[in-house]
Amino acid sequence: QVQLVESGGGLVQPGGSLRLSCAASGSIFRFYTIAWYRQASGKQRELVAQISSGGNTNYADSVKGRFAISRDNVKNTVYLQMNSLKSEDTAVYYCNAMGSIWPWGQGTQVTVSS
- d(CA 97, CA 36) in angstroms, rounded, equals 9
Q: Which of left, alpha, beta for 98 (phi over 0: left; psi -120 to 50: alpha)?
A: beta
Q: What is the pLDDT of residues 6-52, one digit of tens each?
A: 999 999 999 999 999 999 997 788 899 999 999 999 999 999 999 99
Q: What is the pLDDT of residues 48-107, one digit of tens each?
A: 999 999 999 999 999 999 999 999 999 999 999 999 999 999 999 999 998 888 999 999
Task: Give the count of beta carbons closer than 10 Å to the beta carbon of residue 71.
Answer: 21
